[in-house]
Amino acid sequence: MSEIEDLDVSVEEYLEGLAVGIDVLELKRLTLKGIPKNLALEVIEIGKKACDGVATPEEIVRGLMILTPSLRQQLE
């Protein structure tokens, strides 16, 4: 069984995020991995588009670059 992460997000914060379309837990996980908040939000949006099948190849590549530390430096 995997260990539960404490991301210090209240239920209220989580629900407020969902109300505006942001998964606060995923945002927190990405920022804890060193991804700046603006890029983390962008990769979340790209992920939504990819799931819906409407992401362009360029968006997919940009999302992969954001998630790859050595490539992320080129974007910042």
> Structural domain boundaries of the chain?
26-75
Which pLDDT does position 64 carry in this prediction? Answer: 96
Q: In whole angstroms, what is the distance from residue 29 CA to residue 74 CA? A: 21
Measured over all CA atoms, what is the biggest interatomic distance in the chain, rounded to whole angstroms?
37
Q: Find where tokens 């940009």 sit.
A: 62
If you write DSSP's letter for every residue of 27-53 in order, what string do you get?
HHHHHHTT--HHHHHHHHHHHHHHHHT
Which pLDDT does position 5 carry in this prediction? Answer: 79
- Tell me how many degrees the CA angle 40-51-67 measures, rounded to the nearest 5: 30
Which tens digits make up the pLDDT trace of 23-36? 999 999 999 999 99
Which pLDDT does position 3 carry in this prediction? Answer: 75
pLDDT above 90 coverage of the chain, percent: 80
| Residue ranges in the chain whose pLDDT is less than 50 | none
